[in-house]
Chains A and B, each alone.
Chain A
Amino acid sequence: MSTYIRIEDLHKSFKNKNEKTEVLKGIDLSINKGEIYGIVGFSGAGKSTLVRCINRLEEPDSGKVWIGDTEITALNKKQLTERRKKIGMIFQQFNLFDSMTVFKNIAYPLKLVGTPKKEIEKKVDKLLELVGLSDKKNAYPGSLSGGQKQRVGIARSLANDPDVLLSDEATSALDPVSTLSILDLLAQINDELGVTIIMITHELEAAKRICGKIAVLENGVITEKGNTRDIFLDPKSSTGKIFLEVYREFRQEHTYSGGGGI
């Protein structure tokens, strides 16, 4: 497998009046095609900023981002808008449009690229089947549960057959059961459609379940990256160690209470 997404020396800082906070301090990352790559770290580590730099919802100060042969950071506004149509993104807060039905939410990106009506109908039905929400086609997002909303979000992000799916804390607002089902859905999508998934999370459990590789982000620096297995067995960075400790305690608690863990 070859490198598909390449991030080179990415820097980003936010200016707040006189204060300048450096959020990303030179990120280098290579992600292979068809991988599920986890980026883990505590709140404020810069995970979200990093993933938002990939589709330039956040403009990096310096550094390069490549997806395939396209240098994303070199695109002008119009080219970027075009390229974004092939980069899916899902969010912690789902960000569905309340004014549209589930069908129209999923049809929205298809309309952006001028898909004919009949094809939209077909494609949306297929996506709804994939995420298991065929019966909610004409419901409004307001009437759905969190897990269902995220399924609609996933269907919407997949509408234009993206090659990359960015997941920004997609399961962090969900209960444990919905979290598992969404994670399994992401794994299924990765398996069936071959979409490369970059997954931001602060839940190690989530990363462990589906990510082949992970990178640990700490204060804007990647302190550790590699196969999920290796990092779980022998974490080198402090965040990695703390994470694992918390994770083990969590499992123990759940085992003692008879829950058997997640």
Chain B
Amino acid sequence: MSFSKYPFWEVVKHAFSKEVWDTLWPAVWDTLYMVVLSALITLVLGVLLGIALSVISKDGVRPIPVLNETAGTIVNCLRSLPQMIMIIVTLPLARMILGQSYGVNACIIALAASCIPMYARLVQGAFVEIPKGKIEAAKAMGSSSATIVFRVMLPEAVPSIIRGFTVALIGIISMTALAGSFGAGGIGDIAVRFGFNRFYHDMLIASVLVLIVMVEIAQIFGDLLSNLILRKRHLI
């Protein structure tokens, strides 16, 4: 149903019809699959990379200037690529690893390549926020560097790491939609093929709604979890 042929409210109403959702549901599952998988990869590798970046930085627990410069430059290069370019750039890589450059799995490489460096910087920020005195106290008690990082800094930074993950998750959702137009499938694909190319505006409205709901859930859940921990520690 297009706005040019039907009255506005008719189109909106039709966005909730069975006809639209029969097409949309499989795409929603595809998107969820891509988001969940990339989010997990981003969480694990992003936290690890973030920890590594903060540990080897100039004011870190174990400064390694040369490695810090190199890693910093690579992260910045990856971050400076717009998401669309990142998708195109990683297509040959996906073909090399998976044997095909389209479909939900191929897109996950692009999502991870784009979101891991972004999330790593947020994790690094969370580590920098930890008051220096606490790390000094741990040092003064005779903690090794590894103990300081994993037993002190990581638990202290958890609320910020969760808040950063919410931001990264929303980034992943938006990028998934974009990847849809490059053969990844999912909601983005539906929105472009039906909503844009064929003027199925009911389909477009339904796609937008799904995306809004996904982002809202991510935000609410992330805030909830982070606040829960802060409240438990009596910090808010």
Residues of A at under 8 Å CB distance from B? 55, 57, 81-85, 87, 89, 91, 93, 95-100, 108-109, 112-113, 139-143, 156-157, 160, 166
Contact = CB atoms under 8 A, between A and B. Distances in A.
Nearest to B236: A142
A140 B134 CA distance: 15
Contact of B136 (A57, A82, A96): A57
Interface in B132-146: 133-134, 136-144
Interface of B: 131, 133-134, 136-144, 147, 151-152, 155-156, 158, 232-235
Contacts of B138: 97, 108
A98 B141 contact: no
Given A81-B144, A84-B141, A91 B133 contact: yes
A232 B60 CA distance: 44
Interface of B is mostly: helix
A97 B235 CA distance: 12
A13 B136 CA distance: 19
A45 to B, nearest CB: 20
Given A87-B140, A112-B141, A112-B142, A98 B233 contact: yes
Contacts of A84: 139-142
8 contacts: A83-B142, A95-B133, A97-B156, A99-B156, A100-B155, A141-B234, A142-B234, A166-B140
Contacts of B143: 81, 112
A81 to B, nearest CB: 5
A10 to B, nearest CB: 18
Contacts of A142: 233-235
Contacts of B233: 98-99, 140-142
Contacts of A109: 141-142
Contacts of B140: 55, 57, 84, 87, 89, 166
A153 B147 CA distance: 19
Contacts of A108: 138, 141, 151
Please indicate which of the listed interface residues B134, B138, B147 has the most CB atoms of chain A within 10 Å of its own CB. Answer: B134
A179 B152 CA distance: 28
A91 B132 CA distance: 12
Contacts of B147: 112
Nearest 3 pairs of A and B residues by beta carbon: A142-B234, A85-B142, A99-B155
A144 B232 CA distance: 13
B234 A140 contact: yes
Contact of B142 (A82, A98, A99, A100): A82
B228 to A, nearest CB: 13
